[in-house]
Amino acid sequence: MKAKLFTFLSKPYSVLIVILIAILLSLSDRNFGYFFGLGVVLFIAWQKKWDWSYFGIGQKITLQTIITSVWISIVYFFVTGVIDGVLQHHLGDNDLSSLDDLRGDFGNYLLMMIIMWVFAAMGEELLFHGYYMKRLAKLMGGSNKAWGISGVIIAVYFGLSHGYQGLSGIIGITIGSLFFAFLFYKNRTNLLLLVFIHGIYDSIWLTLIYLNEDMRVSGWFEGLIYK
């Protein structure tokens, strides 16, 4: 049974079916679609004897990767801060009420940091770029154009999957995901670069929420454009 399933999942077109099932499951709860997709990724990794290069993790962690991820994360924080400021000015604030339990609670903050690094930074990059984007690009021929189209499709999908954050959140996350898709397009064997940037960026915002400073920082970014 598992051999037949692995054979099916090895077919280029199988990624379309996996994405379709994930979307249908997400109509009930986005976590259902996410964990279904992540389960598929882990099953494939298991059958391939944990060869992570299949998903774009083909380089070891180096000091250069860490340094690069830190400075890109900082630049990304400020650029997206300004973009979000514009979006929230016209479309309303992002709905981050699901993270209110973090405010002033160090235990919840620490737990969420662990969850974020495992399931958001590592899990989402592995699923959306290492699997969805890479396999979809291969399905379309594997050319640079195919990688570009695949990146746009997955960025839109990833943005829509964050519908609970409201329209400004969807648009902002889609724009951010386009940047991550471009990074993977340029670094197809170094998915860990994306993982570190994702994790560092989210860590900054989780820390601001814990300190109850997120709205003030968001207001500061908005004030840079609309004084």
Residue spans of the domains in the chain: they are 52-225
Please give the pLDDT value at position 200.
97
Assess contact for 181 and 151: CB atoms under 8 A: yes
CB within 8 Å of 165: residues ≥ 6 apart: 94, 95, 96, 173
The pLDDT value recorded for residue 149 is 97
Q: What is the pLDDT of residue 136?
A: 98
Q: Which pLDDT does position 128 carry in this prediction?
A: 98
Per-residue pLDDT tens listing for the chain (227 residues): 888 999 999 999 999 999 999 999 999 988 999 999 999 999 999 999 999 999 999 988 899 999 999 999 999 999 999 998 888 888 877 777 788 889 999 999 999 999 999 999 999 999 999 999 999 999 999 999 999 999 999 999 999 988 778 888 899 999 999 999 999 999 999 999 999 999 999 999 999 999 999 989 988 988 888 86
Contact 185, 46 (CB under 8 A): no
pLDDT given for residue 166 in this prediction? 80
